[in-house]
Amino acid sequence: MWIVFAIFAAFFYALESVLDKVAVSRQIKKPAEATIIGGGAVFVSLIVVGLLGGGGFAPLNVVVICALSGIIAHAVNWFYFLALRKEEVSRVMPVYATMPVITTIFAYFVLGERFSMQTYIGIALVVTGAILISLKSNARGFRFSKVMTLVLFSAVLGASRTILTKYIEGAATDWTIILWTGVGGLISVLITEFFHNHKKILRREYVGVHILVAGGIVGGFATVLYIFSILRGPASLAAALIEIQPIFVLTIASIFASQFPELSDEVIHRRAIMQKILAVMVIAGGGILVALGG
């Protein structure tokens, strides 16, 4: 089941990323505003789901680790929206797919996770496809995106969050972990809001805000599925499978582009299309190997 949870989480994360791109392209120009609105919706969703599922009190160490995981998730969202302001959604998210390698390294030393060579090859293919799809073409040939460093740092934070969640497996119920992760993230959002001029958000048109909230709810559902996947399977493999989302991103973004001109920055010339198709095939192949290895 952890494989199923990871695949569905990847789909909903992809849908969230496309919705977020539409929102930041329309009205929500500042990363702080997007992080407060979208992140707030994500963490409120986690709290609601956790409470409905029966989550409650937990040992202090569990609460602290879960809250820290939520705080890290908020930081990841911040860098994510910074990247979205500068790059195509189909390039930003795949670069984040380098997270499986970082997670694998962390899991090796912290959790003692060991896998077959086939599995490691699968993880390598996922990362290779992510890097391939993140390359941009110009007159001087291919170059890495300007936001590569930013997104890679975000991947490090994301890997740390995955390890923290896996570390407390069995120390509390899944619903309790979800609940306190949401609490930690929401506290971070409220602190960000305290230092931010919220009046600018209230004065904006509400279309972008509504889209961000919708994306946040979708992202909250995706996060719940991802936590289920981490707690039921190897952290390294769950992190690898979640990064098949570029396949979903490209599909969803193409559909949305016909309705939202804001996605027209997606490059559609033949070379870019062939590059992305090849990258998707590599990522898909790697994901299959990872799933078989798990």
pLDDT in tens, 76-85: 888 877 776 6
27 pLDDT higher than 80: no
Residue ranges of alpha helices (H) inside the chain are: 2-26, 31-52, 60-84, 89-95, 99-110, 117-134, 148-167, 174-194, 199-202, 206-232, 235-242, 245-257, 270-293
- Under a CB-based contact definition with an 8 Å cutoff, are residues 20 and 84 in contact? yes
C-alpha 173/C-alpha 55 separation (Å) is: 7
Among 262, 294, 227, which residue's Cα sits nearest to residue 50?
227
Instruction: Determine phi and psi for 268, rounding to 5 degrees.
Output: -120, 5
C-alpha 83/C-alpha 148 separation (Å) is: 9
267 pLDDT higher than 60: no
pLDDT in tens, 96-134: 667 888 888 888 888 888 888 888 888 888 878 877 776
The top-scoring range by mean pLDDT among 34-38, 92-96, 140-144, 267-271 is 34-38
Which amino acid is it at 20? Answer: D
Among 73, 102, 108, which residue's Cα sits nearest to residue 178?
73
pLDDT in tens, 225-245: 999 999 998 988 888 888 787
Confidence band of 146 (pLDDT split at 50, 70, 90)? low
Which amino acid is it at 236? Answer: S
| Domain ranges (residues) in the chain | 2-293
Percent of the chain clearing pLDDT 90 (strictly above) = 29
Question: CB neighbours (10 Å) of residue 160?
Answer: 20
C-alpha 157/C-alpha 160 separation (Å) is: 5
Instruction: Determine phi and psi for 86, rounding to 5 degrees.
Output: -115, -20
pLDDT in tens, 156-195: 898 999 999 999 988 899 999 999 999 999 999 998 887 7
